[in-house]
Structure 1
Amino acid sequence: MTRSIPYLFLGLFLLAACAGDVPGDDVRADNLAQHLRVLASDAFEGRAPNTPGEDKTVAYISEQFERAGLQPAGDDGGWTQAVTLERSEIDGPVEAALHVAGETRALANGDEIAVETLRPGERVDLREVPLVFAGYGVTAPELGWDDYAGLDVEDKIVVVLVNDPDFESEQPGRFGGRAITYYGRWTYKYEEAARRGAAGVLIVHETEPASYPWATVRNGRAGPQYDIVREEAERYHLPVRGWIQRDLAVQLFEQVGLDFEQAKRSAQQDGFAGHALGDAALSVGFKVKRDRIVSRNVAGLLPGADRAGETVILSGHWDSFGIGQPDDSGDAIINGAVDNATAVASLIELARVFAAGERPARSLLFLALTAEENGLLGAHYYAANPLRPLQTTAAVLNLEMWSPDGPTRDISSWGVGKVSLERSLKAAAERDGRSYSPDPNLEAGFFYRADHFAFAQAGVPAITIGPGMDQIEGGVEGGKAARADYFAHRYHQPGDEFGDDWDMRGPTADTQTVHRLASDIAASAAWPEWDADSEFKAARDRSAGSRAAPDR
């Protein structure tokens, strides 16, 4: 479907071009589309780690990096960094049953609950394990909040609510309002319960506070699960973890004499006390296949002209979910076109444009990361085993999920990073005749759901850049509608496919703005910084002596 370019949008580009000030003006929409056509094709089988789809994906990215003019920056002079992962996969059927008031109800995995395990062992075999309710499952000493206070959860299964206590509160409380904190992330809830010695966790799924439908939960747990290799995996991982449908949770609470909504409101109040869910218990049993696999990050380097030891990383994850459950049309391949072939296409095109231009002062490392969908594992592995020193990595600009729904007047970043890079992105966008919009959906917790977070935890200034929402043809309302439709019907589902009707003007403009931002940072002698109130500033400050102060 052909779409006309609005005069305003065209005029901005002509004005900038006449001024000779369009960095990345050679970013080509047809190149981006061709990379998307390949990476999101059925032939790549959904790009899951340790599948033929990974082999094709890694080979393609490596070939394109080489063709662009980068140097291999991986292990032993190659294009890849080996990422050793523990893989856990349910082997055969899952037997699950809920026991309440003398009655037993069989549960369908994938429909009523969705469970998994990463704990070492060949079988999960939990029989009539008591259920306890721990509110939002949060222990935050700095906020004076502890959902586990006085609650014994050892060898029990903990039922917790999704997000954090402020999400549905009328006024912002200790957790700062609807913007999700790290305490609202499902990963945190699992980790905290494991520290308490629980046998498992079931998170009550609700679409709005989770920010995705049940289909996303089901598809994300239908295939193998991965983790980096950990020395204390027995202690770090719960025997079983997963989600429970809201309707089933409501019925469970009712059966033990509780009102679910009232219990949720109670959990949002200071002084909440966790408690047993009557005599309710859960049995879960399934076999587990375990092994170690080696996946790969792909790394290409453009050495800097003057300060080659300093690095700016441009990153994006290449993985999707592979082959999952068929949708209504029978399609089971989760192609991951928007999420995240769009970013990989941009990395390849940015590599080409940068290599063809004047060499920047700092080195640029183009990093296509694995296993983001399994918990940012490729990024966490790189942060623990960096190919270039983190203390002299100036910034990480991570790219995610460009929109095929038309160009926008703005560009955005995920979450509130409390970092100078957000202001630098704003300045770069304004020089492109665009604007910067803060994340409009802070309650979704995207700051904690993208690869930049692994670098931030290590102290490196990092952001994830995504599309804006103010469509040139449709405005903010059009952008909101397009995004809502994507998350409801295609996100982590087989419908996330590339089509020749995609409007490539948006990804092209966004890639150009990223080029400008990366150019600015790579040319500068200044070091991006965390704001004073950032939780990551202390980690960065510890390596301050490794970075030269810029000339004033």
Structure 2
Amino acid sequence: MKKLITAALFIAALAALKSQTLDEALKQIDETSLIERVKIISSDEFLGRAPGHEGEEKTIDYLKKEFVKLGLKSPSGNYEQPFELTELTPEVTPVIDFIKDGKKVSLKHADDFVAVTRQAREEIEVPPTEVIFAGYGINAPEYGWNDFEGVDVKNKIIIVMVNDPGFAANDTSLFTGRAMTYYGRWTYKYEEAARQGAAGIFIIHETEAASYPWEVVRNGRVGPQFFIEDGDKNSSRAKFEGWITYDKAKEIFELAGLDLQNELENAAKPGFRSKSLGLKTSLKIKNKISRIKTRNLIGILPGSQKPDEYLLYMAHWDHLGYDPDLKGDNIYNGARDNALGVASILEIAEAFSKVDHKRSIAFVALAAEEQGLLGSEYYVKNPVLPLEKTIAAFNIDGGNIFGKTKDVAVLGLGNSELDAYIKKTGGKYGKMIVPDPSPEAGGFYRSDHYNFVKAGIPSLYLRHGILAEDGQTNISELSRRWTKEHYHKVSDEYNDDWNLSGAIEDIKILFEIGYTLSNDGNYPKILRR
């Protein structure tokens, strides 16, 4: 009995310490401290924050110190959830040839094509193998679509187009029109190639359909690759997974006697049938294999009444590291992607540390997002906090660096009952709540929250709006230009020209939604995955 009374008194004392009002807590979310944190996390000292390398150690050390300062409790004793990644550093055939009747089209590695393997083997070789054009590489019964019907691609190489048929045809009767589904993502296409038994897969890159330029593909597929191994060295995957540029794909199809644009238009029509291109190619990859330890970090502010129920704020701490072969600036600092996101959840933690909340608030800094959402995948498969007790999740990946907006975008609007919370809280800030302004980019499927959605946890992922408060700034154009010039490039560095006033509003909105949900006792449902 004495222990129970002591525990009750402790919780009451803790609540008394957190007696500040909501408005006072909101003042903790401050642009000056946000900038300072972004500068530190994205500094050259952190070496681009690649998992398993020296930059990770500096990042983890800094974040642990911040967690301690903010009073976050550790469920593991040291905040860490360690896990192993297989690091494959590939040496790829420098030039591959697509050959037909003695004629060939040659592709240079990095400039014209990229290829990696998930199979944890020292050498992968695909001898001269038939090439099949498999449309969009989709088998989706619910949409009545199967690009593999009537064609056997086992042990063959397939070429497919990025995105969905609905995007290409601009037809709302196909899939979800221009809004990408998971079937349009490269991750799905690689998974389906493996299920079909293909020896290898190339995805045709086109900037609008992919929503990012070739440099993003090249920078992410040249150099070390990280994967989580299954029990069989990932041997169920295709031998290689790659991309080719649109221009080189055009040449390949010309060699096959076909017009690429016509074939892509046909591939976006119901009833399309995949076809052999009547040519062959080969490829070899030699891997340097190592296995490294990386870790997610989890810190908790315990709830005063329902400490075993959790609201979870996440942001990935990793980026692309550095390229020793790149002349000049060779560090991928990742200031917006995602030092800004990590700094944002630290600001939210600071606000929550000042107020009472009935439910516990968890803050998770995730590893290896850039290599395919691996940290969140591992967490969901090995949850530190029970998934059935995780009421909702909030993801911050990037942020608004363009100033205040009249709107805020919800990626995946309509996916859960969290919509009611964002509409109410956004309204308090005078914000219109709008769906993803670029649904064709598939942003909903491209960040860590999606693994939580697949696990059935209502999740919220906001993007900056596009209606500038000043009525003059063209935020859509600024965002497109930033993506083209800085996304996944060494130039993603903090800049004094950033206007973080809009980011501060968005961070406060996310805090307030969590604050409301931590105290109202509701259990929002997920509506679709």
Would you say the 8 A contact 1:307–1:361 is kept in 2?
A: yes
Query: Aligned-pair distance for 1:232?
Result: 4.3
Distance 1:170-1:27 versus aligned 2 partners, 3 A rule: closer
Would you say the 8 A contact 2:409–2:464 is kept in 1?
A: yes
Partners of 1:26 and 1:35 in 2: how far apart? 14
Q: Which whole-Å deviations, capped at 9, do the CAs of 1:179-219 have from their partners, x for residues lacking one?
A: 00111010110111111111100000000010000000000
Q: Which residue of 36, 44, 47 corresponds with 2:46? A: 44
Query: Aligned-pair distance for 1:463?
Result: 2.0
Query: Aligned-pair distance for 1:500?
Result: 2.7
Q: Which whole-Å deviations, capped at 9, do the CAs of 1:274-316 have from their partners, x for residues lacking one?
A: 01012x1112113101222111111110000000000000001
Q: Which whole-Å deviations, capped at 9, do the CAs of 1:228-263 have from their partners, x for residues lacking one?
A: 231244443211111000000011111111111110
Matching residue of 1:430? 427
Partners of 1:217 and 1:211 in 2: how far apart? 11
Matching residue of 2:504? 508
Would you say the 8 A contact 1:417–1:463 is kept in 2?
A: no
* Aligned residues between the structures: 509
Superposed, 1:55-70 pairs within 5 Å as: 55-70=57-72
The alignment partner of 1:335 has SS state of coil
Query: Aligned-pair distance for 1:390?
Result: 0.3
State the TM-score, normalizing by the size of structure 2: 0.93
1:375 aligns with 2:372: yes
Partners of 2:249 and 2:264 in 1: how far apart? 11
Question: Moved runs in structure 1, 4+ residues, more than 3 A?
Answer: 19-23, 91-95, 232-236, 324-327
Distance 1:325-1:131 versus aligned 2 partners, 3 A rule: farther
The alignment partner of 1:420 has SS state of coil
Matching residue of 1:96? 96
Superposed, 1:25-174 pairs within 5 Å as: 25-73=27-75, 75=76, 77-91=77-91, 94-174=94-174
Partners of 2:306 and 2:325 in 1: how far apart? 51
Would you say the 8 A contact 2:28–2:350 is kept in 1?
A: no
Q: Which whole-Å deviations, capped at 9, do the CAs of 1:75-107 have from their partners, x for residues lacking one?
A: 3x1111102222211147645222233134442
Matching residue of 2:464? 467
Partners of 1:213 and 1:164 in 2: how far apart? 18
Partners of 2:35 and 2:375 in 1: how far apart? 25
Matching residue of 2:7? none
Superposed, 1:511-530 pairs within 5 Å as: 511-530=507-526
- Code of the aligned partner of 1:216: V
Query: Aligned-pair distance for 1:411?
Result: 2.2
Query: Aligned-pair distance for 1:48?
Result: 0.9
Q: Which residue of 442, 446, 468 corresponds with 2:443? A: 446
Q: Which whole-Å deviations, capped at 9, do the CAs of 1:471-521 have from their partners, x for residues lacking one?
A: 22355x611011101111111111111023322212222211111111011
Would you say the 8 A contact 1:253–1:277 is kept in 2?
A: yes
Select between 406-415 and 310-319 the one with higher mean Cα deviation.
Answer: 406-415
Partners of 1:481 and 1:49 in 2: how far apart? 33
1:281 aligns with 2:280: yes
Matching residue of 1:488? 484
Q: Which whole-Å deviations, capped at 9, do the CAs of 1:524-547 have from their partners, x for residues lacking one?
A: 21011122xx14xxxxxxxxxxxx
Query: Aligned-pair distance for 1:426?
Result: 1.9
Select between 409-418 and 31-40 the one with higher mean Cα deviation.
Answer: 409-418
- Code of the aligned partner of 1:27: I
Would you say the 8 A contact 1:222–1:325 is kept in 2?
A: no
Query: Aligned-pair distance for 1:417?
Result: 5.0
- Code of the aligned partner of 2:420: R
Select between 152-161 and 318-327 the one with higher mean Cα deviation.
Answer: 318-327
Would you say the 8 A contact 1:129–1:283 is kept in 2?
A: yes
Would you say the 8 A contact 2:170–2:178 is kept in 1?
A: no
The alignment partner of 1:391 has SS state of helix
Matching residue of 2:396? 399
- Code of the aligned partner of 2:130: P
Partners of 1:523 and 1:94 in 2: how far apart? 58
Matching residue of 1:541? none
Select between 413-422 and 291-300 the one with higher mean Cα deviation.
Answer: 413-422
Query: Aligned-pair distance for 1:20?
Result: 7.7
1:351 aligns with 2:353: no
The alignment partner of 1:120 has SS state of coil
The alignment partner of 1:334 has SS state of coil
Distance 1:418-1:360 versus aligned 2 partners, 3 A rule: same
Q: Which whole-Å deviations, capped at 9, do the CAs of 1:139-189 have from their partners, x for residues lacking one?
A: 011221110011111111100001011102142123020000111010110
Query: Aligned-pair distance for 1:461?
Result: 0.9
Query: Aligned-pair distance for 1:325?
Result: 8.2
Would you say the 8 A contact 1:204–1:245 is kept in 2?
A: yes
- Code of the aligned partner of 2:288: K
Unaligned runs of 5+ in 1: 1-18, 536-552
The alignment partner of 1:27 has SS state of coil
Would you say the 8 A contact 2:86–2:120 is kept in 1?
A: no
- Code of the aligned partner of 2:287: V
Partners of 1:20 and 1:193 in 2: how far apart? 51
Partners of 2:202 and 2:238 in 1: how far apart? 11
- Code of the aligned partner of 1:394: I
Matching residue of 1:498? 494
Query: Aligned-pair distance for 1:436?
Result: 2.0
Partners of 1:444 and 1:342 in 2: how far apart? 21
Superposed, 1:230-269 pairs within 5 Å as: 230-269=230-269
Would you say the 8 A contact 1:415–1:445 is kept in 2?
A: no
Query: Aligned-pair distance for 1:69?
Result: 1.3
Matching residue of 2:6? none
Distance 1:202-1:416 versus aligned 2 partners, 3 A rule: farther
1:361 aligns with 2:367: no
Partners of 1:441 and 1:92 in 2: how far apart? 34
Partners of 1:124 and 1:473 in 2: how far apart? 56
The alignment partner of 1:85 has SS state of strand
Query: Aligned-pair distance for 1:21?
Result: 5.0
Partners of 1:20 and 1:257 in 2: how far apart? 67
Partners of 1:20 and 1:524 in 2: how far apart? 15
- Code of the aligned partner of 2:110: G
Would you say the 8 A contact 2:134–2:147 is kept in 1?
A: yes
The alignment partner of 1:99 has SS state of strand
Q: Which residue of 376, 379, 384 corresponds with 2:381? A: 384
Matching residue of 1:550? none
